A and B are shown apart, each in its own frame.
Chain A
Amino acid sequence: MGPELQVGLYVFVLAIFVGFELITKVPPTLHTPLMSGANAVSGITIVGALACAKAGEGTIANMLGGLAIATAMVNVVGGYLVTDRMLHMFTKKDR
């Protein structure tokens, strides 16, 4: 294992613990918006997609990268917007 992988594994495991800590006590009401919000976060793969679409010029890899950008953006934009729509319903009575 290279040092990069070792650090990556530490980060991965610690982040999972952070996730568990943060989410364990979420009330059931928020389960759906939490899920769709978390879903949007998994679109972070867009960062990789952008890098792949850029490196090299006009190759198949670029096209796949472009496709990955599109699918990740569907996930990101759709996920955040739909979550906001839902949460708006939950909170509108408070104002």
Chain B
Amino acid sequence: MSDAIFLAYLVAAVLFIFGLKLQGKVRTARKGNMVSSLAMLLAVAATLLKINQNTGTGPGQLIPPAWIFIIIGIVVGSLIGAITAMKVQMTSMPEMVALFNGSGGIASSLVAIAYFLLNKNLGTETTLADAPAIFGPSVAVTLALSVMIGGITFTGSIVAYAKLAGKITGAPILLPGRHFLNFGMMASVLVIGALLAFVVPGNTMVTIFLLVLLFMVFALGVLLVIPIGGADMPVVISLLNSYSGIAAAMTGFVLGENLLIIAGALVGAAGLILTKLMCKAMNRSLANVLFGGFGTADSKGTSGKEGYTNVKEASPEEVAMILEDAQSVIFVPGYGLAVAQAQHANRALQTLLEERGCKVRHAIHPVAGRMPGHMNVLLAEADVPYESLVEMDEINPEFKNTDVVIILGANDVVNPAALTDKDSPIWGMPILHVHEARTVFMVKRSLSPGFAGIRNELFEADNTLMVFGDAKDVLQKMILELKEA
């Protein structure tokens, strides 16, 4: 590699780090993203120069054949990415991130396979036993790891996407003997990976091994994500994000390219931190999220619509009457707000209340929605001022001095059972203390439990009134009533 290209890569690595640093503050985040994209542009441009250095065109060829794949790949990929990014709605952001993630994962896998195919014929009479000799054992191992992690990221992200987009049920899908199955799969994947790396038994077998490995990691990606319920998606998305970075770093080891190692490690670290934060916000270990099959019939706690005896109901008109006299209101947004696309109606009601001199805030639980920071993005889209979004620890002492709490499609994050019921599956999870407010309106479509499938005592509390309906409809009715008042 020429010095100029080496230096370009070095600058790109520095810009990635610098961009990430800027992305940590609201004021500079946008600039940070641009710096990071500049780094990527630089890396791609330098690579194009590098591979162009020893290309010749054959007679009658405008461009060398290999460049056709490169150009088609760049154009098609950019178009797909750009169009989806511009068209996607903010409410669908978790699905989008999952898809992009998966596409990065499969890219790393494909690079590793392509590299393998390109180099396995370097020696004459290649046998698998020669592979370490050709690649060196470290390359052989990282190559297998790259295929594995990338493949798991790919299908895992597709399943996460399907769950988030409602294409398949968001509830955990539990196969009989799944722990045994997953463990068996994981063990076989490792064994095949090791075989691939050290004991390749002959030339054609190599490709077959690789295909078997790819197929198995694809299956494993699916198996690992289907038992995880919709409410746990923030953890899964963060973790898959981390995997896609690690896969890129492994590809970096294969190619001996430090830029990939650095960029991949940064992403891996970012994903891990978010994963940890999300787990903490649910008071659960990562293992519990990944293997728990949380929120199914076999978890404890009464589920289902039955069992609620003392539920009081209010109409949007009645809510509006109470809001007329309220001095302080806290909204608690959840996934239901995203589903109903109610963020703009929420903002409109906030404005109306503020015009009447009422103090309005939004209480944001760390795992509200389907990805870290999901609610912040939605409310920002509706121009809700940053200052009115308050984090859990800050807002919790405020509930007891609050007149009205309006819960918009959140459920488990306001379930007092987390504080009171030691047998509840969510016992110990930090929640928003909405039950301490004077009046709580729970806007919800029905009494059905959330994804965790846990009975919510809040529905029956003396100060709770259920408002049944779609969050957006209900909010719009409240706005109408309040305007007439």
Residue of A at shortest CB range from B108?
A45
Is A50 touching B373 in the complex (CB atoms < 8 A)? no
Q: Is residue B100 contacting chain A, with contact meaning CB distance below 8 A?
A: yes
Which residue from chain A places its CB closest to the CB of B257 in the assembled complex?
Answer: A47
Q: Is the CB of B96 within 8 A of A43?
A: no
A33 and B29 contacting across the interface, CB-CB below 8 Å: yes
Shortest Cβ distance from A7 into chain B, in angstroms?
7
The interface size bin for chain A is 35 or more
Q: How far is the CA of A37 from the CA of B19 in the complex (A)?
A: 10
- Distance A2 CA – B115 CA, assembled complex (angstroms): 19
User: Are A74 and B81 in contact (CB-based, < 8 A)?
Assistant: yes
Contact A42 B263 (CB under 8 A): yes
Chain A residue numbers with a CB within 8 Å of B118 are: 52, 55-56, 59, 61
Distance A53 CA – B267 CA, assembled complex (angstroms): 24
Task: Say whether chain A's binding surface is mostly helix, strand, loop, or mixed.
Answer: helix
- Structural contact, A86 and B103, CB atoms closer than 8 A: no
Q: A85 — which chain B residues lie within 8 A by C-beta?
A: 85-86
Report how far A7 CA is from B274 CA in the complex, Å: 28
- Give, as a whole number of angstroms, the nearest-CB distance from B7 to chain A: 15
B372 and A48 form a contact (CB under 8 A): no
Asked if A37 contacts B253 (CB within 8 A), the reply is: no
Asked whether A47 and B371 contact (CB < 8 A) given A19-B269, A37-B36, A53-B69, the answer is no
Interface residues of A in 72-95 (CB under 8 A from B): 72-91, 93-94
Q: Complex formed: what's the CA distance from A44 to B286 in Å? A: 27
B contact residues, range: 35 or more
- List A33-79 residues whose CB lies under 8 Å from chain B: 33-79
Question: Does the CB pair B26–A31 fall under 8 Å?
Answer: no
Do B266 and A82 have beta carbons less than 8 Å apart? no
A35 with B24: in contact, given A18-B17, A47-B259, A65-B111 (CB under 8 Å)?
no
Q: How far is the CB of A67 from chain B (nearest CB, A)?
A: 6
Chain B contacts of A36 at CB under 8 A? 93, 96-97, 100
Task: Give chain B residues whose Cβ lies under 8 Å from the Cβ of A48.
Answer: 108, 111, 115, 251-252, 254-255, 257, 260
Interface residue from A13, A45, A76 paired with B260 (Cβ < 8 Å): A45
Docked pose: A91 CA to B385 CA in angstroms:
10
Q: Is B192 an interface residue (CB 8 A)?
A: no
Least CB distance from A39 to B in Å reads 5
Minimum C-beta distance from B450 to chain A (A) = 21
**Residue-by-residue, is A2-31 near B (CB-CB < 8 Å gives 1, otherwise 0)?**
101101100111011111101111111111
B273 an interface residue at 8 Å Cβ cutoff?
Answer: yes
- Cα–Cα, bound, A30→B273 (Å): 13
Known: A41-B263, A64-B114. A77 touches B82 (CB 8 A): yes
Q: Are A43 and B107 in contact (CB under 8 A)?
A: yes
* Residue from B21, B245, B386 in contact with A41 in the complex, judged by beta carbons closer than 8 Å: B245
Residues of A within 8 A of B30 (CB): 84, 87-88, 90-91
* Distance in angstroms between the alpha carbons of A58 and B371 in the assembled complex: 41
Task: Determine whether the beta carbon of B266 is less than 8 Å from that of A15.
Answer: yes
Q: Is the CB of B81 within 8 A of A79?
A: yes
> Are the CB atoms of A72 and B97 closer together than 8 Å?
no
B36 and A41 form a contact (CB under 8 A): yes
Interface residue B264 (Cβ < 8 Å from any Cβ of A): yes
In the bound complex, CA of A81 to CA of B30 (Å) = 11
B273 A24 Cβ-Cβ under 8 A: yes
Select which of B47, B73, B81, B262 is within 8 A of A15 by beta carbon: B262
A28 and B373 contact, CB distance less than 8 A: yes
Complex CA–CA separation, A86 to B376 (angstroms): 10
Contacting pair B36 A69 (CB below 8 A): no
Task: Report yes or no: A16 in contact with B269, Cβ–Cβ below 8 A.
Answer: yes
A32 to chain B: closest CB distance in Å?
Answer: 4
Q: Report whether A34 and B270 are in contact in the complex, using a CB–CB cutoff of 8 Å.
A: yes
Residues of A within 8 A of B115 (CB): 48, 52, 61
Contact with A along B371-389 (1 / 0, CB 8 A): 1111011001101011001
Is B23 in contact with A34, judged by CB distance below 8 angstroms? yes
Beta-carbon contacts of B280-300 to A below 8 Å, as 1s and 0s?
A: 000000000000000000000
Collect the chain A residues with CB atoms within 8 Å of residue B262's CB: 11-12, 15
Which residues of A approach B to under 8 Å, CB–CB?
1-2, 4-5, 7-8, 11-13, 15-20, 22-91, 93-94
**What are 21 sample pairs from A and B whose C-beta atoms fall under 8 A apart?**
A22-B17, A23-B24, A28-B373, A32-B377, A34-B23, A35-B270, A37-B32, A39-B267, A42-B267, A44-B248, A44-B263, A45-B264, A48-B251, A58-B66, A60-B117, A65-B70, A68-B106, A73-B78, A75-B104, A86-B93, A89-B90
Identify 16 new A-B residue pairs, CB closer than 8 A, beyond the known A28-B372, A35-B238.
A2-B138, A30-B373, A31-B274, A38-B271, A41-B263, A42-B241, A68-B114, A69-B73, A70-B77, A71-B77, A74-B77, A74-B103, A75-B103, A86-B380, A87-B29, A90-B26
